[in-house]
């Protein structure tokens, strides 16, 4: 109901139900709109039914004939029309004014988009005239996005107009709330329901030909020194991503530094610190292609101190490779509950929603490819993985040796291994992973992993993986929590420029109009009309991992959500959850010990962009750490406003 829009708080329910965008057809929309025509342009699309009195109104009406209720969202960018109707109806209801400004905001946003998209637009002249008219109301609009785009009215592609239309619905809701309640980018602007009216543009949807390979983000995790970087380096080399000359260079330099065995790892560990110490400190990103996928490799650090960085990598992952060192003693050290990272990594990976895992048992050459060793490892680790929540079917076990290049991209040549192992090699295993589902049809949300300011060009670029939606050059984005609005200048994937980036793609977005100080790792790029909420006080549902100290009220922890981290404090333990039924079993327990699930409230030192898990998975997963261990993992159930 349009009226509900103005209520503010409970606009959520049912409002979208009556909405049908179906009859608003793209093709028709760009009819010959005459700028001067006050009444809707000619496009007669049919009728729309008034949500209140269910009278079938003509498409041309913005308000119901019978009851006078405004149609929401207002159709087309007929600003003139709207303006007129709006002014005419100003007297009708007090809400009309808001409606009008709302419309204008909508239009403005749309103009802004139009103006921006003009650069890429094919000149489908159709919608041009209608758009040019938009400039007039935009002056009156109070939207902050209206600056300077008025003149860019003219050529707008069909896609953009469609986007305009899409923008009509919910943004009208969204815009109102900030104005009427003066909350700016307040979190309740985006209830889950209101995402429904967002309709992705044509360019956002992937081409049907299927020529484009799916992108797969693969995180490589495991205990320190298990061979993650070496494995990645080997794979890149074997698949031709690193030239022979480059490889020789690495080998030579590594030998000089006395780290000859790290030659392959140097492909991923590029900084002098990492090379000198022989470890990975931050997540190394590399790209390679397999038969079915464009794979983005996220080589994570294994060291306990760098787990926050590993978490940054894990949030982007669709699938993971858990690398195990098969040598005697190392495997045991790795799975040690307190000192080893194998368990913690596996738990963290699972908590980030990864359910497909490849366990690569590396350094098999050291144990002479012994089947017994493989079986012991498989049994012990398998039990643990099952506990974590990985299904047996989605875990693949691959014995290999990165050093000797066995079982990586082709079946092993070593007789010992071949005698008892006939399974797939690593590359095949990667290919056999299920493609992850992508949320292309949601507004764009991209958590920023890293911000780089190029020295030479002075451009600011944000690197990250799109959690949902799509971007292309010229799209307008909003940086939360600073609230800066910028434009995408260009997109780069794998050091190659690309035109469109869709959900699941790991890209580097060169931004224009955003100050370097306003954007940093942990921020989120989102659609200007669908801002991501920020919060300082959240309610979480967590599972306490074993081996951690008890959590009491006042416990100080580190809160990690997507790439953001903040110091946090537990303020309330609301209830314990029964692990089997999931229902609250005890209210306000004194403390939380290992293996318990509970709902608690946490207050952060600074605000972060976060969303309820049910709305956006990427922004809803959290991990709590303290004293160098991950204490609990969970999801955000509610954002509490203070």
Partner 1 sequence: MVPVDSDDLWFAYNLIAPGDSVMAVTVRKVLREAASGGRDAERVKLKLEIKVEAVDYDKVGTVLRIRGKNVLENEHVKIGAFHTLEIELQRPFVLRKGVWDSLALDVLHQASDPGASADLAVVLMQEGLAHILLVGRSMTTTRARIETSIPRKHGPAIAGYDSALNKFFENVLQAFLKHIDFSVVRCAVIASPGFTKDQFHRHLLLEAERRQLRPIIENKSRIILVHTSSGYKHSLREVLDAPNVMNMIKDTKAAQEVRALKDFFDMLSNDPDRACYGPKHVEVAHERLAIQTLLITDDLFRNADVETRKKYVNLVESVKGSGGTAHIFSSMHISGEQLAQLTGIAAVLRFPLPDLEDIEM
Nearer to partner 1, 434 or 605 (CB): 605
Give the nearest distance from C-beta 282 to partner 1 in angstroms: 5
Phi, psi at residue 497, to the nearest 5°?
-65, 145
Nearest approach in angstroms of CB 498 to partner 1 is: 17
In which residue are the tokens 């995180």 written?
Answer: 219
For residues 7 and 558, which CB has a smaller minimum distance to partner 1 in the complex? 558
Q: CA nearest 295: which of 372, 235, 358, 206?
A: 235
The DSSP 8-state label assigned to residue 211 in this structure reads -
Contacts of 307 (CB under 8 A, 6+ apart): 301, 341, 344, 348, 625, 628, 630
The distance of closest approach from Cβ of residue 591 to partner 1 in the complex, given in angstroms and rounded to an integer, is: 6
Extract the tokens encoding 355: 């359910």
CB of 311 to partner 1, least distance (A): 13
Provide, rounded to whole angstroms, the least separation between the CB of residue 312 and partner 1: 8
Whole-number Cα distances in Å, 197 to 26, 73, 257, 562: 15, 9, 59, 26
Q: Would the CA dihedral through 554, 555, 560, 564 be positive or negative?
A: positive
Least Å distance, CB 541 to partner 1, is 22
Smallest distance from partner 1 to CB 622, Å: 16
Nearest 5°: the CA angle 236, 241, 247 is 75
Between 274 and 612, CB nearer to partner 1:
274
Question: Cβ 556 to partner 1, closest distance in Å?
Answer: 4
Q: Any bridge partners for residue 524, and if so which?
A: 447, 480
- Residue the block writes with tokens 């490799």: 297
Report in angstroms how near the CB of residue 358 gets to partner 1 at its nearest. Answer: 25
Q: Tokens 């060793």 belong to which residue? A: 373
C-beta of 219 vs 417, nearer to partner 1: 219
- Quote the least distance from Cβ 496 to partner 1, whole Å: 13
Q: How far is the CB of 386 from partner 1 (least distance, A)?
A: 26
- Compare residues 584 and 627 and give the one whose CB is closer to partner 1: 627
In this complex, which beta carbon is closest to partner 1, that of residue 8 or of residue 589?
589
What phi and psi values does residue 307 have, to the nearest 5 degrees?
-60, -35
Classify residue 140 by its DSSP letter: H
**Judged by CB, which is closer to partner 1: 366, or 553?**
553
Shortest distance in whole angstroms from residue 175 CB to partner 1: 31
Measured from the CB atom, the residue of 305 and 368 that comes closer to partner 1 is: 305
Cα 358 from Cα 321, distance rounded (Å): 5
Query: How many Cα atoms sit within 13 Å of 481 on the Cβ side?
Result: 14
CA–CA gap between residue 460 and residue 519 (Å, rounded): 9
Provide the token pair at 500: 């469109």
For CA atoms 501, 199, 44, 27, give the dihedral sign.
Answer: positive
Pairing assessment for the beta strands 214-222 and 319-325 based on DSSP bridges: parallel
Nearest residue to 468 via CA among 513, 523, 530: 530
Question: Which is closer to partner 1, CB of 277 or CB of 339?
Answer: 277
Q: Which is nearer to partner 1, 27 or 627 (CB)?
A: 627
User: Is the CB of 69 or the CB of 599 nearer to partner 1?
Assistant: 599
Q: Which of 202, 159, 213 is nearest to 493 (CA)?
A: 213
Residues that bind partner 1 (CB under 8 A): 270-271, 273-274, 277, 281-283, 285, 303, 305-306, 308-309, 449-455, 463, 495, 520-521, 549-550, 552-556, 558, 567, 569, 588, 590-591, 593, 625-629
Distance (Å, rounded) from C-alpha 190 to C-alpha 166? Answer: 16
Closest CA relative to residue 534, chosen from 585, 491, 478, 455: 478
Would you say 167 or 522 has its CB closer to partner 1? 522
């Amino acid at each position: 109901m349009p009226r509900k829009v103005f209520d503010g708080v409970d606009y959520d329910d049912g409002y979208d139900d009556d909405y049908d965008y179906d009859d608003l057809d793209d093709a028709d929309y760009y009819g010959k709109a005459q700028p001067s025509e006050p009444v809707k342009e000619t496009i007669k699309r049919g009728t729309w039914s008034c949500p209140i009195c269910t009278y079938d109104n003509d498409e041309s009406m913005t308000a119901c004939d019978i009851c006078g209720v405004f149609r929401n969202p207002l159709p087309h960018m007929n600003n003139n029309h709207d303006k007129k109707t709006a002014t005419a109806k100003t007297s009708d209801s007090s809400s009309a004014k808001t409606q009008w400004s709302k419309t204008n905001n909508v239009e403005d946003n749309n103009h802004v988009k139009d103006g921006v998209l003009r650069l890429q637009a094919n000149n489908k002249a159709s919608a041009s005239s209608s758009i040019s008219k938009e400039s007039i109301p935009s002056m009156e609009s109070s939207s902050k996005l209206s600056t300077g785009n008025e003149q860019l009215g003219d050529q707008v592609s069909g896609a953009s107009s469609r986007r305009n239309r899409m923008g009509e619905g919910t943004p009208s809701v969204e815009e109102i709330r900030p104005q009427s309640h003066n909350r700016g980018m307040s979190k309740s602007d985006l209830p889950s329901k209101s995402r429904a009216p967002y309709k992705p543009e044509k360019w956002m949807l992937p081409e049907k030909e299927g020529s484009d390979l799916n992108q797969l983000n693969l995180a490589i995790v495991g205990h320190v020194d298990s061979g993650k970087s070496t494995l990645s380096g080997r794979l890149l080399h074997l698949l031709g991503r690193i030239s022979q000359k480059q490889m020789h260079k690495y080998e030579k330099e590594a030998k000089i530094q006395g780290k000859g065995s790290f030659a392959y790892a140097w492909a991923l560990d590029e900084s002098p610190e990492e090379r000198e110490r022989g470890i990975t400190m931050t997540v190394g990103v590399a790209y390679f292609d397999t038969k079915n996928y464009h794979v983005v490799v996220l080589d994570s650090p294994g060291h306990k101190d760098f787990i926050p960085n590993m978490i940054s990598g894990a949030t982007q992952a669709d699938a993971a490779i858990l690398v195990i060192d098969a040598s005697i003693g190392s495997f045991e050290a790795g799975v040690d509950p307190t000192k080893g990272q194998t368990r913690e990594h596996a738990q963290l990976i699972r908590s980030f929603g990864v359910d497909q895992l490849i366990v690569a048992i590396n350094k098999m050459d050291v144990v002479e490819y012994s089947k017994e060793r493989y079986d012991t490892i498989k049994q012990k680790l398998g039990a643990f993985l099952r506990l974590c929540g990985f299904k047996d079917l989605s875990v693949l076990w691959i014995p290999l040796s990165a050093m000797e290049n066995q079982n990586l991209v082709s079946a092993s040549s070593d007789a010992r291994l071949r005698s008892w192992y006939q399974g797939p090699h690593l590359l095949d295993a990667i290919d056999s992973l299920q493609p992850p589902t992508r949320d292309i049809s949601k507004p764009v949300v991209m958590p920023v992993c890293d911000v780089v300011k190029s020295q030479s060009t002075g451009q600011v670029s944000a690197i990250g993986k799109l959690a949902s939606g799509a971007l292309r050059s010229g799209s307008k984005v909003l940086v939360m929590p600073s609230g800066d609005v910028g434009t995408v200048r260009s997109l780069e994937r794998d050091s190659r420029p690309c035109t469109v980036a869709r959900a699941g793609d790991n890209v580097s977005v060169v931004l224009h109009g955003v100050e370097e100080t306003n954007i940093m790792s942990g921020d989120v790029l989102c659609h200007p009309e669908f801002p991501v909420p920020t919060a300082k006080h959240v309610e979480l549902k967590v599972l306490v991992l074993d081996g951690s100290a008890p959590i009491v009220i006042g416990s100080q922890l580190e809160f990690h959500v997507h790439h953001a981290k903040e110091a946090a404090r537990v303020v309330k333990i609301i209830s314990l959850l029964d692990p089997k039924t999931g229902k609250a079993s005890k209210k306000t327990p004194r403390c939380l010990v290992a293996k318990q699930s509970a709902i608690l409230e946490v207050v952060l030192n600074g605000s972060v962009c976060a969303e309820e898990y049910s709305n956006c998975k990427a922004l809803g997963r959290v991990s709590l750490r303290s004293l160098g261990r991950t204490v609990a993992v969970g999801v955000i159930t509610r954002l509490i406003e203070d």
